Amino acid sequence: MSTPPTPAVRKQPPISAQGEALALGLLGVGLFALSLPMTRLAVGSTQAPQLSPEFVALGRAAVAGVLAAVWLVWQHAPLPGRRDWALLAAMAGGVVFGFPLLTSIALREVDAVHASLILALLPLFTAALGALLAGQRPSAGFWLCAFLGAALVMAYTLLHGTGRFALNLHWADGLLVGAMLSAAVGYALGGHLTRSRPAGQVIGWALVLSLPISVPTAWWLRPAAPVQLSAWGGFAYVAVVSMWLGFLAWYRALALGGTVRISQLQLLQPFLSMLAAAALLHEVLDATTLLFAGAVLAVVFVARRMPVHDASRPVPRPVPRPIPDSRS
């Protein structure tokens, strides 16, 4: 008598791989959490400007690109395939140029605590784009959470600073939304590329591809007047840690654990950024900001539990229960 076939079970990553992905993801989030306060430290404020936002954005890309070039040569990394160059260029547009430039300009105008809340929806958009690139289909509940989170962020921008709902939008808020979308695109494309290439090579080639733009532009934008040493310290952090070391850890985590799953760790980043801004820059954490931050992160947390279906398979539907026969 033949035994019935065993149903196929989707293989999970080994425990060691899951643990490494979690550790690297937490490391990346911890390093990224200081990016906004350090950028604010580098660019200063409208009352006390330091390095120009454009120099900080292009300069950090140039420094990280040089480090990446040295690392790629040391690793004897092969050139990307012909089809990968376009994806690398799009990825660079998001995380090498878009996010750093938009956040640098915005942080000259608003504080890091405010920016941290606006960017709190980043893991939700990263997961959505990652699912679409993986051929998956987020459920209606997932998109409902996305719209609810966006509504909360919009409500915060209308309420913050006045204590009542009024048209209180700052033009820098639009830059922060653009930065969030740029980072989500870059993270999702990077996670997609790490399926066929080591994570370090993916971010490395994206940075090297940007060098013909970042190096001459950063040199042209270099400061003509002296700035505070703390501003250079902030610049050094975002150039070496945020733009290179953090990316190495983060994209490796995305490759091991998957974009949708690992992006959930970014739930911690807004709170860590706010705490860092309060500690390093002495910014104020008011009750309104903490309340909205908790609400936004709760929405993102719920969204993580919403099903994401494979687009090649039909969405499972509940089977109706048979109605019992009252005559029996």
Predicted confidence (pLDDT) per residue in 54-73, tens digit: 999 999 999 999 999 999 99
Amino acid at 152: L
Say whether pTM exceeds 0.85. Answer: no
Q: What is the pLDDT of residue 325?
A: 57
276 burial type by CB count under 10 A (0-12 exposed, 13-18 middle, 19+ buried): buried
Instruction: Tell me the DSSP string of 92-111.
Output: HIIIIIIHHHHHHHHHTTS-
Length of the chain as a residue count: 328
Q: Write the pLDDT tens digit of every residue in 165-194.
A: 445 567 888 999 999 999 999 988 988 898
Please check whether residue 316 lies inside any domain of the structure: no
Of the CA atoms within 13 Å of residue 126, those in its CB half-sphere come to: 33
- Cα–Cα nearest to 45, from 102, 101, 110: 110
Please check whether residue 151 lies inside any domain of the structure: yes
Please check whether residue 315 lies inside any domain of the structure: no
Please check whether residue 258 lies inside any domain of the structure: yes
Please check whether residue 240 lies inside any domain of the structure: yes
Question: 236 lies in which domain range?
Answer: 16-310
- In degrees and rounded to multiples of 5, residue 313 shows phi and psi of -120, 150
Distance CA 209, CA 228 (A): 31
Q: Residue 44: helix, strand or coil by DSSP?
A: strand
Report how many domains make up the chain: 1
Q: Out of 33-37, 76-80, 157-161, 163-167, pick the least confident.
A: 163-167
For the cut 80, the answer to whether the pLDDT of residue 15 exceeds it is no
pLDDT band at residue 328 under the 50/70/90 scheme? very low
Q: Write the pLDDT tens digit of every residue in 218-228.
A: 999 999 999 99
**Mean pLDDT, range 247-256, rounded to an integer:** 88
In the chain, where do the E strands start and end? 136-138, 308-310
Please check whether residue 326 lies inside any domain of the structure: no
Q: Do residues 179 and 102 lie in contact, with contact meaning Cβ atoms separated by under 8 Å?
A: yes
Q: Write the pLDDT tens digit of every residue in 81-124.
A: 888 999 999 999 999 999 999 999 999 999 998 888 888 888 87
Please check whether residue 235 lies inside any domain of the structure: yes
Please check whether residue 232 lies inside any domain of the structure: yes
